[in-house]
Structure 1
Amino acid sequence: MEVKLSQIQPYLLSALRIALGLVILSFGIGKIFHFHPGPFSPPPGSLDWIAGVIELTAGGLFLVGLLTRISAFLLSGQMAFAYLLVHLPVSFYPTENDGYAAAVFSFVFLYFVAAGPGPLSIDKLTRPALRKSM
C-alpha cells in the first residue's frame, strides 16, 4: 500500500498545531504560574503578564483545536505586536534583535487562521461545517 504525502498532509497540519500549541502554552504556564525561574515571572497586570494570559488561554484552545482560527488570530496578533514593540526598536533584522521566533510564530499562526485545525481537533469533531470543508 502506497501512502502519498498529500494523504497525510492534514494529519501533519494537526501535528504542527499540537506542537506549536504546546510551545505557546508552556510560555503562558511559565508566565502565569511561575513554572520556570527567571524572566518567566512577570508581575500581575504587566504587559508580559497579559501576554501570558493570552498564551495560556488561546494557546490551550489552539493546542486542543477548539476555536482554532480565533485563537490562532489572537496569537498571530500577539506575536506581531511583540515583534513590533520589543524587537523592532532594537534593529530591523531578526538575527540582531532576537525577534526571529516572534516573527515566525506570527506567520505560522496566521497560516492556521486560513488552514484551520486539521482533522485531529475538537473543532473537527464538534462542528459539522468544518468536517465538510476539510
Structure 2
Amino acid sequence: MNTDPLNMARLSGPLHAVLRITTALTFVSHGSLKLLGFPASQMPAPPLASLMGVAGLMEIVGGLLVLVGLFTRPIAFLLAGEMAAAYWMAHAPQGPFPVLNMGESAYLFCFVFLWLSAAGAGPWSLDAARGEGKAAA
C-alpha cells in the first residue's frame, strides 16, 4: 500500500532546509532587536556582560551559523538550551501554559533547535558541503 501517494517524501530534504533557514532568520531578529534595536526597539541595548546581552549575542551569532548551516548540531544544541533556560526563567513563572505566559516562541525555538541538533543541517548548508549534513528526516 502506497502511504505517500503524492510523493511528498521528495520534499523532506528541501523542507528540512527551509525550516532551518526560516527559524534561524526569525531567531537572528530576536537577537538584533535586543542588541541593535533593529527593527524598531524602544529598549536600550543591554550590556554584553549581562544575561540579556549574552542571549542577544548567542541569538545573532548562533542564529547566523544555523542560517548558513555551519556547525549546526552543536550550535543548535546550545541554542535549544538557551531557549529552555529563557522559558523556565522568564515565562514558566507566569503560568504553566505557553500561550498564556507569552512563552510560545521560546518553547518552539527550543524544540526546533533540539530537533536540528539531532537531525543536522540537512541540504542547502555548509555542513552538507563539508560532508556532514546528512538529513535524518
TM-score between both structures, scaled by the size of structure 1? 0.88
Distance 1:40 1:8, change over 3 A: farther
Shift of 1:71: 1.2
CA–CA separation in structure 2 for the residues paired with 1:76 and 1:40: 26
Q: Which residue of 2 aligns with 1:106?
A: 110
Deviations 1:6-32 (A, max 9, x none): 111011000010000100111112222
Tell me whether 1:63 sits opposite 2:32 in the alignment. Answer: no
Give 1:21's aligned amino acid.
A
Give 1:26's aligned amino acid.
S
Q: Which residue of 2 aligns with 1:11?
A: 14
Deviations 1:89-125 (A, max 9, x none): 1111112211111111101110111111111000000
Give 2:7's aligned amino acid.
K
**Preserved CA contact (<8 Å) 2:95 2:101:** yes
**Preserved CA contact (<8 Å) 1:73 1:110:** yes
Deviations 1:34-53 (A, max 9, x none): 22322473233221111000
Give 1:106's aligned amino acid.
C
Number of residue equivalences: 130
CA–CA separation in structure 2 for the residues paired with 1:122 and 1:100: 29
Q: Which runs of 5+ in 2 are unaligned?
A: none
CA RMSD of aligned residues (A): 1.8
Q: Which runs of 5+ in 1 are unaligned?
A: none
- Taking the TM superposition and a 5 Å limit, the aligned residue runs for 1:75-90 are 75-90=79-94
Q: 2:31 aligns with which of 28, 33, 38?
A: 28
Distance 1:73 1:40, change over 3 A: farther
Tell me whether 1:91 sits opposite 2:95 in the alignment. Answer: yes
Q: Which runs of 4+ in 1 moved over 6 A?
A: none
Give 2:45's aligned amino acid.
S
CA–CA separation in structure 1 for the residues paired with 2:61 and 2:70: 11
Q: Which residue of 2 aligns with 1:44?
A: 48
CA–CA separation in structure 2 for the residues paired with 1:77 and 1:40: 25
TM-score between both structures, scaled by the size of structure 2? 0.86
User: Percent sequence identity over matched residues?
Assistant: 39
